[in-house]
Amino acid sequence: MQGFWKGKKVLVTGAGGFIGSHLSERLILEGCHVVAMIHYDSRPDRSNLEFIDSTILREMEIRSGDIRDSHFVNQLVKGRDVVFHLAALIGIPYSYSAPSSYVETNIVGTLNILQASLAAGVERVVHTSTSECYGTAKYIPIDENHPLQGQSPYAATKIGADKLAESFNHSFGLRVSTIRPFNTFGPRQSARAVIPTILSQLLTGRPELKLGSLEPVRDLNYVGNTIDGFLAIASSEEAIGRVLNVGSGQGISVQDLVVLAMKTVGREIPIHIDEERIRPLTSEVFSLVCDCTQAKEITGWVPAVTLKAGLKKTAQFIEKHIDRYRPEEFSL
């Protein structure tokens, strides 16, 4: 794969995010010229890019801006060979409180990327979806033909963004592929996600583990596997115009995940169900297990790191950077 990526001019939107930072780092190691777009704010903070080794970080061109600004996006995309679009609002609980901001970022922002990419003649756009688009499973495992269900404002806006990407391929011939990751986890992930929530509470000596519902089943895929999926899909001609699932293919309940996490860190504490953390009943997605057959057959991608090994790596990162987590708070 080194030969394919070497010298490519690549844009990564949402590069300051959990997955975006890992993808940007990997692309530098593959020999790309990377423009890493992060969300502008008044603080000189590069978010998760700060965790990348300085020798690698110096190779990136970091641009701050807002994906909702079409003028900014047009300038950002010019001259790029490949665009990886990850910029999005992703917190499900916050989408209940601020749905308009999700429409503006996830739908309008994606439209800006697609229009700019078409105008600039980029070789390839990889748009990032989410398994939340499927809602609670009507059958397991979930393949790409499963119905889409907007069970939260977040999921609804991601479905809209996915359909925009599809339309630009059909209507204008834009070479778009959509990657639909299931629940990615690993170092740098925020406490908004279930694994950092569990591990940070265990590693800071909390007397009890505060969680929401323990019944939901998730397909948890280590971030390195997801990044492999991004690169495999972006370099595959057969993936153009397709939506491809990327996941581990294995489901685990939150209850069983807690048991595995406690074994990983060597600490067992009682669980307290916190009502504030429980999603509305008809909005909760109870089961997400990935059928990634198409991604494997089309691109040759396979997940290499197991849940057990990934949990260990994630726990080591959280323990080393425990000051960035506030386990006593519920993060939206």
**1 pLDDT more than 60:** no
CATH class name, domain 7-185+222-246: alpha beta
What pLDDT is stored for residue 332 in this prediction? 46
**Percent over 90 (pLDDT), the chain:** 82
pLDDT band at 324 (very low <50, low <70, confident <90, very high): confident
| pLDDT single digits (tens) 202-235 | 998 888 998 888 888 999 999 999 999 999 999 9
Residue 332 to residues 95, 161, 204, 256, Cα–Cα distance (Å): 9, 22, 20, 23
DSSP letters for 73-111: HHHHHTT-SEEEE------HHHHHH-HHHHIIIIIIHHH
Q: Are 129 and 117 in contact (CB under 8 A)?
A: no
Please tell me whether the peptide bond between 141 and the residue prior to it is cis, using omega within 30 degrees of 0: yes
Domain ranges of the chain: 7-185+222-246
pLDDT band at 308 (very low <50, low <70, confident <90, very high): very high
- The mean per-residue pLDDT over the stretch 102-110 comes to 98
Q: Where are the beta strands (DSSP E) in the chain?
A: 9-13, 33-39, 61-65, 82-85, 124-128, 176-181, 183-185, 209-211, 217-218, 220-222, 243-246, 252-253, 271-273
pTM: 0.93
pLDDT band at 91 (very low <50, low <70, confident <90, very high): confident
Closest CA to 123 of 79, 60, 61: 79
